[in-house]
Amino acid sequence: MLHAHNCHSPNAVFSLHIDGHPDAGDPDDWSKTPLYRMPRNEHELKLMMQQNDIFIQIAAGTGLINRFIWVWPKFDVGGWFHKKNESYVSMKLEVGFMYQDEGIRPALELCYCLQSDYFQIKHPCNIAKVNRRMLEGIEPFPIDRGSCLDMTLGGIVELVSTDKAIELAKSGSWIKASDSVILDIDEDFYGCEAVSAPLYDAGMNEDDIKGLSFYVGKILCTDNAKDEMKADRYFQKLLKAVQETLKRCHSGRLGEETCESNHAFTEAVLALMPDMTTTKDIMCLPKESTLFMLVNLVARLSRCSDTQLQHIASIGVCMYESQRSTTFNRNNGMILCAGYNGPMSDKVLYHSTNEQEIAISSRSLKEMLTQAFIPQVVTVCRSVRDGYTPRRSFH
């Protein structure tokens, strides 16, 4: 993991990150971001928002922060980032650049050296390879310390358990009243589930989910939260219309010809829907093209069981990523809001929660934060779009 921080910035602050995940992802492309300096305009600021879990590295690369504290939740005991369950671990990082021969021309790469008094590091210096997403998950590339040049970025990374963070906060020496703190709270600190799990439990598979998302994305296109909610309401009405039409078919109230023809069935469904002229602002294509895609979507939905349709309704549709992300494009359309990882994924540690546990976590959070320091900035992330915060509890 790379957390690059500029120790020399006169305005340096540190990040107190309370989250079920470290959000330590590597940026797709460091060349798009302002390194060693703060962003100078809105364009540069937008280029820093490449993906959902990389904001810490990019903010650190500008020199904004020189200390990163991840407070991990109680349910993450034995998690991948602290398998030995140490309640507190800190690491010192130095980050620089090096050129690697790629054949045609040397490629500029980030490199880093890491040291810690808390555990032994087999290969302290490595090429980060952060600008190649296809290398995500591959082991680091060990290098000699002398190969990493211009190591003027650096800082401290701390991994702290919830209980230890409470103890340290009470000491008054861990975070001082004079410190400049960015407090970042992600609601999956309370629990983490795969929102798509009920779909799999109901007999659907990845192809089924992707197929529905494909047609949703050809029909519904939005670029703001208000229209996103409007599109979801439209989708919910479509699901109810499909369910009602299926009931009418099963009861014999609709003729066999209507129920066996995809086009006729879709017309029966749309007869229960608002006129499409009232929803054209959330549609991707002209009416005729949208109708063509609706026939395919309705046909897929009509093959779902009533239980599957109910779970699809509970998940709904959403934009595939925040409209503030660098790569966002309205024309990519919306998706079934089934989250980033399925229930069988080994990339995320899942934990279901309940009201009692939520209350305990809230008390721990309050105890941790009722201290002398006052954050300069507070952010709260719901983690609903990525499907991690338990959907039945996020409200």
Q: Which of 340, 42, 395 is nearest to 209 (CA)?
A: 340
Domain coverage including residue 143: 13-191+349-381
Where do we find the tokens 């991690």? 388
Q: Say yes or no: 162 and 272 in one domain.
A: no
Q: Say yes or no: 177 and 221 in one domain.
A: no
Q: Say yes or no: 119 and 34 in one domain.
A: yes
Q: Say yes or no: 72 and 177 in one domain.
A: yes
Residue 316, φ and ψ in degrees, nearest 5:
70, -165
Least confident of 6-20, 185-199, 222-236: 6-20
Q: Say yes or no: 135 and 55 in one domain.
A: yes
What pLDDT shows up at residue 3? 37
Q: Say yes or no: 319 and 205 in one domain.
A: yes
- The DSSP secondary structure of 219-279, one letter per residue, reads HB--SSHHHHHHHHHHHHHHHHHHHHHHHHHHHT-S-HHHHH-HHHHHHHHHTTS--GGGS
Q: Say yes or no: 356 and 309 in one domain.
A: no
Q: What pTM was estimated for this model as a whole?
A: 0.83
Structural domain total, the chain: 2
Per residue in 105-140, pLDDT (tens digit) is 777 777 889 999 988 888 899 887 644 433 344 566
Element housing 171 (H / E): helix 162-171
Q: Say yes or no: 114 and 237 in one domain.
A: no
Per residue in 250-276, pLDDT (tens digit) is 998 998 888 999 999 999 999 999 887
Would residue 1 count as lying in a domain?
Answer: no
Q: Say yes or no: 371 and 236 in one domain.
A: no
pLDDT at residue 387 tops 90 = no
Would residue 343 count as lying in a domain?
Answer: no
What pLDDT shows up at residue 97? 83
Would residue 80 count as lying in a domain?
Answer: yes
Where do we find the tokens 């007869």? 271
Would residue 366 count as lying in a domain?
Answer: yes
Q: Say yes or no: 79 and 209 in one domain.
A: no
Q: Whole-angstrom Cα distance, residue 170 to residue 272?
A: 60
Q: Which of 254, 385, 262, 265 is nearest to 328 (CA)?
A: 385
Q: Whole-angstrom Cα distance, residue 339 to residue 199?
A: 12
Whole-number percent of the chain with pLDDT over 70: 92
Would residue 389 count as lying in a domain?
Answer: no
Q: Say yes or no: 29 and 174 in one domain.
A: yes
Would residue 5 count as lying in a domain?
Answer: no
- The DSSP secondary structure of 69-81, one letter per residue, reads EEEE-GGGTT-GG
Would residue 394 count as lying in a domain?
Answer: no
Per residue in 131-172, pLDDT (tens digit) is 443 334 456 678 899 988 888 888 899 999 999 999 999 998
Would residue 87 count as lying in a domain?
Answer: yes
Q: Say yes or no: 319 and 357 in one domain.
A: no
- As a whole number, mean pLDDT of residues 272-283 equals 88
